[in-house]
Amino acid sequence: MKIAVCIKQVPDTANVKLDPETHTLKREGVESIVNPFDLFALEAALRIKEAAGGEIVAITMGPPQAETVIKDAIGFGVDEGLLLSDRAFAGADTWATTAALAKAIMGLGDVDLVICGKQAVDGDTAQVGPGIAQRLGLPHVAFVKGFREIDNKRLVVERQMDDGYDVVELPLPALITVVREVGEPRPPSLKGKMRAKKYTVPMQGAADLGLDASQVGLAGSFTQVVKVFAPSHSGERRRLEGSEDEMGAQVIDALVDNQVIMLGS
């Protein structure tokens, strides 16, 4: 089985402060780490490889120093890595990010499973995983907390919900995002770390991926962060029924009715 894991280098948010003016993270002097949810993604990939065999490739989009997260991944036992780095990628929102990651995954060929962490602890959108699935036309399940069956054709997973969990079967190729419960990340191994020391991380830019500047980075972004705040929890819950298309339409209607989004140009 060929598994691609998307990982991100983030500031160590346990120690970081929010700038009250710009509502962005004050990153100076803060150490960079592998996004904690991506450690769960790597662990999930390693367990699947142990169960079903195969190869794991770790991919990251970031500045040149992000190659350390790829080397960290090699240290955990991942087989190969890929750094997507280009000035043109800067300022990307999740849509522009998924443009690069999806192209990179396509470039690997024959990927059976893409695994992402639930969300990055700096952006907290949880959008990149589903966004990649959308671009690649892959079925996806988010918030996977465990695996019931794994074989080369399909997965049966447990999906974490607010009040329990669902058991979902999905055919491969597919994408999943994982939560903490998927497994305690193993430590790096000595053999892995020795390999990581000597490993040259392959790098690809926009041109290598066949993307032009308008598709990536700030230029390729539909959204811009204006304000970051923690919303208060509202009391109303509504359960929708019907086909996926019907339910999707109901969600859009609800968002429009509540003036959360506006339709139109």
Partner 1 sequence: MDYFFTEEQEMIRDLCRQIAEERIKPVRAELDEKEEFPREIMKALAQADLFQIIIPEEYGGLGGGCLENCIAVEELSRACCGVSTSYAASFLGAYPMLLFGNEAQKEKYLPLIGSGEKLCAFALTESSSGSDAGSIQTEAKKDGDSYVLNGSKQWITNGGEAGVYTVIAITDRSKGARGATAFIVEADDPGFSIGKKEIKMGIRASATAELIFKDCRIPAERVLGKEGLGFVVAMRTFDKSRPGVGAQAVGVAQGALDEAAAFARVRKQFGKPIITFQAVAHMLADMAVDIEAGRALVYATARYIDSGAKDFSKVSAIAKVFPTDMAMRVTTNAVQVLGGHGYMREYPVEKMMRDAKILQIYEGTNQIQRNVIGQELNKEYGRKK
Contact positions vs partner 1 (CB under 8 A)? 184, 186-194, 197
Task: Report in angstroms how near the CB of residue 232 gets to partner 1 at its nearest.
Answer: 34
* Closest CB 76 distance from partner 1, rounded Å: 9
Q: In this structure, what DSSP letter does residue 85 have?
A: -
Q: Which is nearer to partner 1, 190 or 262 (CB)?
A: 190
Question: Which residues have CB under 8 Å from 241's CB, separation 6+?
Answer: 247
In angstroms, give the least distance from the CB of 209 to partner 1: 34
Nearest CB to partner 1, comparing residues 27 and 193: 193
Q: Which residues contact 24 (CB under 8 A, 6 or more apart)?
A: 18, 225, 228
**Minimum gap (Å) between residue 200 Cβ and partner 1:** 17
- Between residues 107 and 183, which has the closer beta carbon with respect to partner 1? 183
CA end-to-end distance (rounded Å), the chain? 43
Hey, is 129 helix, strand or coil? helix
- Is the sign of the CA dihedral 12, 17, 18, 22 positive or negative? negative
Residue 91's CB is within 10 A of a number of other CB atoms, namely: 13
